[in-house]
């Protein structure tokens, strides 16, 4: 085992101990991903403790996602230009400091600022982590296994965040006579993890070559603010609708800035986003599929977590544990896929995986409900209506993430590894925001139309028969709300299944790289779309 106290500089490309390098990168990636959901369960406690408004509370979640998604391209390029290990360490330190600020925040403004700063740290660390796997692990079984662990951490992080958030929120810690509330622990837990990981990075990771002075500032500004505009607009659309003034303004501004970004990049000597990244058909297909899949998968986490709590009556911690099979399944599936990818072409693994995920989402869309009048209290069973499809979804996603992560960064020029990773992460973030906004629109339409129909039927029945008591009305309204919610959620699942089938179609048609090619690090041969 390598000496972890070793501090001598390594030449670019020299490999540190691979096992420790993978542990470090995986822990950092898990920390970044789970922070997208770990604070969700703590939101009611944050609101009560700091006096958040309802509109401000949503920014605890969307503020992190907005900055994270908007800065990913810039973070990936900074790693290429100034050294991936250096940017990885800076990202971890920024994330840890931001988590400390959030953990001790005394008001709404400081907490929201800390969440934005966490997004900055995550946008620096995440693409650097993926690029470090590409440059640290030799092509073949070792890199495949490393990507399997990375994919498992990325896929399981959201579910782990729900469980860890539920547990930490229900605890408190006494330090020197002072009591630290449980919701603060969801932030403070990142501090030692991030600082220790940053401390160990130079001891187990080799530094890449740096190219300072080549940063494309006009591209960085237009690309970053363009992505911020698009991600904000999509996130707002999920809450306020597509016709909201700020939704439209943000999306239009974001698209115009991205058009300007494209024009700048086509003429820049050292572009922030070299368009040669997209010239390979397999890589372009991987990016498109990786944008469609999170769009569909967000439906599972978002609507299923609400269904389990609001309809089935699970506590937040119980809801977190309800997703535990997903975490276990994706870890198992990713491990199996890392071995199969040595013998089976990525098209077949990812193609079958997307079909499994589409089937799982279709299964969720079949959850029972009753929106006839008068409504009856119909609730699905976790064991028969949810668990089988959670397991199927996890196995499918594990079979998808490993091959598509490999094909998305395979044969990218060494100097472009960071931006290649940044593009992949950006596709996932923008795809997730787009998918959630689209599915929210679908569900809201169903909720509105079904609710209006039931309200009309109730008024007609009330005019013809005896008036129910206030208690009966309240009970019937509660049941109706649950059934109407399920109606909208199942429709969203069905649309999500269609999105996953579209991703599967992209994989089957365009992903034509052979498994033998993934075992090489040869020069890229562009295949134009």
**CA gap 355, 505 in Å, rounded:** 9
| CB of 151 closer than 8 Å to CB of 29 | no
Backbone angles phi, psi at 370, to 5 degrees: -135, 115
**CA gap 133, 438 in Å, rounded:** 33
The hierarchical CATH code for the domain 274-513 is 1.20.1250.20
Confidence (pLDDT) at 4: 37
Q: Is 147 exposed, middle or buried (0-12, 13-18, 19+ CB in 10 A)?
A: buried
Residues 504, 363, 485: CA angle, nearest 5 degrees:
115
The hierarchical CATH code for the domain 7-215 is 1.20.1250.20
Structure tokens at 268: 């820049």
Reduce the DSSP state of residue 2 to 3 states and report it: coil
Reduce the DSSP state of residue 174 to 3 states and report it: strand
Q: What is the C-alpha end-to-end distance of the chain, expressed in Å?
A: 45
Q: Is 5 exposed, middle or buried (0-12, 13-18, 19+ CB in 10 A)?
A: exposed
- For 365-381, b/e burial (b = at least 16 CB within 10 A) is bebebbbeeebeeebbe
Domain extents in the chain: 7-215, 216-271, 274-513
Confidence (pLDDT) at 111: 92
Instruction: Please state whether the peptide bond connecting residue 51 to the residue before it is cis, i.e. omega within 30 degrees of 0.
Output: no
Of the candidates 78, 190, 193, the residue with the CA atom closest to the CA atom of residue 124 = 78
Name residues whose C-beta falls within 8 Å of residue 275's C-beta, 6 or more positions apart in sequence: 265, 266
Tokens 């389990």, residue located: 308
**CA gap 85, 182 in Å, rounded:** 33
Confidence (pLDDT) at 126: 87
DSSP H helical ranges for 137-244: 141-169, 182-188, 190-204, 217-240
Confidence (pLDDT) at 349: 94
Confidence (pLDDT) at 282: 85
Q: What is the pLDDT along the chain (529 residues), one digit of tens a residue?
A: 334 334 344 444 444 477 888 888 888 888 887 777 777 777 777 888 888 776 677 778 778 878 888 888 888 888 888 888 899 999 999 999 999 999 898 888 899 999 999 999 998 998 888 888 877 787 778 887 887 887 777 767 777 777 777 777 767 666 656 667 778 888 888 899 999 999 998 888 877 666 666 778 888 889 888 888 888 888 788 777 788 899 999 999 999 999 999 999 888 887 888 887 888 888 889 889 988 888 777 777 778 888 887 888 887 778 778 888 988 898 899 889 988 988 899 999 999 999 999 999 999 999 998 877 777 788 889 999 999 999 999 999 989 988 888 888 777 776 677 777 788 888 887 887 778 778 888 888 888 888 888 777 777 766 666 666 667 667 777 787 888 888 899 999 999 999 999 999 999 999 888 877 776 655 454 444 3
**CA gap 145, 150 in Å, rounded:** 9
**Identical topology for domains 7-215 and 274-513:** yes
**CA gap 408, 337 in Å, rounded:** 16
Of the candidates 23, 39, 41, 35, the residue with the CA atom closest to the CA atom of residue 321 = 41
Residues 167, 30, 275: CA angle, nearest 5 degrees:
145
Structure tokens at 273: 């986003």
Residues 272, 275, 277: CA angle, nearest 5 degrees:
95
């Amino acid at each position: 085992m390598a000496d972890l106290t070793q501090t001598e500089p390594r030449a670019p490309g020299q490999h540190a101990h691979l096992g420790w390098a993978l542990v470090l990168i995986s822990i950092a990636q898990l920390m970044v991903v789970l922070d997208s959901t770990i604070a969700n369960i703590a939101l009611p406690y944050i609101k009560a403790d700091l006096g958040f408004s309802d509109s401000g509370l949503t920014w605890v979640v969307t503020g992190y996602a907005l900055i994270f998604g908007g800065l990913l391209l810039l973070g990936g390029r900074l790693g290429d230009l100034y050294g991936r290990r250096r940017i990885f360490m800076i990202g971890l330190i920024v994330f840890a400091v931001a988590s400390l600020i959030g953990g001790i925040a005394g008001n709404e403004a400081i907490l929201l600022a800390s969440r934005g700063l966490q997004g900055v740290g995550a946008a620096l660390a995440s693409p650097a982590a993926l690029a470090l796997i590409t440059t640290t692990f030799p092509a073949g079984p070792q890199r495949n296994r490393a990507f399997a662990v990375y994919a498992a951490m990325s896929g399981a992080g959201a579910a782990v965040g729900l469980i860890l958030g539920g547990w930490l929120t229900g605890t408190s810690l006494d330090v020197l006579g002072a009591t630290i509330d449980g919701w603060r622990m969801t932030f403070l837990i990142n501090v030692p993890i991030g600082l220790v990981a940053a401390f160990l990075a130079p001891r187990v990771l080799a530094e890449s070559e740096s190219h300072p002075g080549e940063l494309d500032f006009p591209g960085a500004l237009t690309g970053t603010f363009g992505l911020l505009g698009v991600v904000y607009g999509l996130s707002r659309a999920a809450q306020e609708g597509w016709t909201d003034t700020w939704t439209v303004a943000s999306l239009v501004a974001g698209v115009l800035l991205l058009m300007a970004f494209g024009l700048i990049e086509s003429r820049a000597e050292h572009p922030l986003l070299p368009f040669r990244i997209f010239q390979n058909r397999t890589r372009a297909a991987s990016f498109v599929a990786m944008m469609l899949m999170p769009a569909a998968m967000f439906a599972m986490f978002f609507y299923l977590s609400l269904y389990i709590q609001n309809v089935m009556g699970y506590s937040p911690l119980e809801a977190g544990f309800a997703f535990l099979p997903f975490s276990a399944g994706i870890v198992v599936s990713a491990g199996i896929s890392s071995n199969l990818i040595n013998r089976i072409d990525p098209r077949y693994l990812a193609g079958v995986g997307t079909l499994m995920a589409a089937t799982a989402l279709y299964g969720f869309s079949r959850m029972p409900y009753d929106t006839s009048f008068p409504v009856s209290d119909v609730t699905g069973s976790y064991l028969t209506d949810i668990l089988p499809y959670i397991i199927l979804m996890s196995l499918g996603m594990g079979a998808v993430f490993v091959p598509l992560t490999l094909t998305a960064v395979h044969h990218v020029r060494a100097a472009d590894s960071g931006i290649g990773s940044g593009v992949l992460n950006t596709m996932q973030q923008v795809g997730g925001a787009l998918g959630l906004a689209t599915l929210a629109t679908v569900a809201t339409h169903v909720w509105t139309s079904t609710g209006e129909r039931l309200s009309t039927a109730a008024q007609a029945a009330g005019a013809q028969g005896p008036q129910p008591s206030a208690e009966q009305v309240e009970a019937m309204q509660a049941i109706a709300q649950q059934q109407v919610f399920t109606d909208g959620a199942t429709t969203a699942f069905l649309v999500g299944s269609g999105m996953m089938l579209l991703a599967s179609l992209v994989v089957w048609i365009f992903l034509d790289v052979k498994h033998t090619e993934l075992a090489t690090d040869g020069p890229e041969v562009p295949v134009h779309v």
